[in-house]
Amino acid sequence: MASPLCFPLSQISLKIDRSALVPRPSANQRSFAFKYVNSIFHSRHVLALGSTRSNDWSFAGGLRITIRPNVRTFHLHRKNYGVHASWLANSQIASSVFTLGTAAVLPFYTLMVVAPKAELTKKSMESSIPYVVLGLLYGYLLYLSWTPDTLRQMFASQYWLPELPGIAKLFSSEMTLASAWIHLLAVDLFAARQVFQDGLENEIETRHSVSLCLFFCPIGIVTHVITKALSKSSRNAEQRLH
């Protein structure tokens, strides 16, 4: 009986044909895979700003590329920037118009107080230009500050009457507050002109009343009425003595 053959393990070499384990793709398949991977690597430069990419390698599946876009963070950043820019522009417009309107009326008050009987003062008070300018500024601010809820906030009562909480909420905006200031400047200047012209016609001192009309218009009107009544009583008393 023949004895079995024995070989040392060091002399045994095993050769594994890898092509038998994994089927080799054809030439068309290799070309398609190369173009696909190449297109992915080419497009990663476009998606790099708003996406993240991860590579996974396996012997069985090859290279796998996963792209996760970060669209949400990018859009929120742009939205916040736009709101901030809009708020900044409105604030600058309101501040500029506020300063311009205040500076526009000061020369007229100065003329009525410093030189009430000068011809320049009389001609300036007869002009309608300052009221047209203030009206245009007011209309521009009103247009910028107007919202669909403006009327609802002004007339929040069931009887369509203004209420204090709604007005306070309405004037919380700088644009609305600036428009209200221009509104007051126009009305106060008009009242001061009426006081000034009435003083010229009746020869009544109006400097104190005109000065009060600049910041405290109702008080300035009251002081003019009192001054006019006192002046009339004084003249009547003088006529009786003569």
Range of the domain at 39: 27-69
Give the number of residues written for the chain.
242
Angstrom distance (rounded) from CA 125 to CA 185: 15
Same domain for 164 and 200? Answer: yes
Give me the percent of the chain exceeding a pLDDT of 70.
Answer: 61
Cα–Cα distances (Å) from 156 to 15, 147, 169, in that order, read 92, 15, 11
Structurally, the chain folds into a number of domains equal to 2
Q: State yes or no: pLDDT of 140 exceeds 90.
A: yes
Domain shared by 137 and 163, yes or no = yes
Residue 4 belongs to a domain = no
Rounded to whole angstroms, the Cα distance separating 98 from 21 reads 84
Average pLDDT along the chain: 74
Residue 77, domain member (yes or no): no
Do residues 59 and 112 share a domain? no
**Are 31 and 92 in the same domain?**
no
Helix (H) or strand (E) holding 166: helix 164-170
Residue 22 resides in a domain = no
pTM given for the model: 0.61
Greater confidence, 189 or 89?
189
Q: Please report where in the chains the tokens 């290799």 appear, as a residue.
A: 30
Residue 60 has pLDDT above 60, yes or no: no
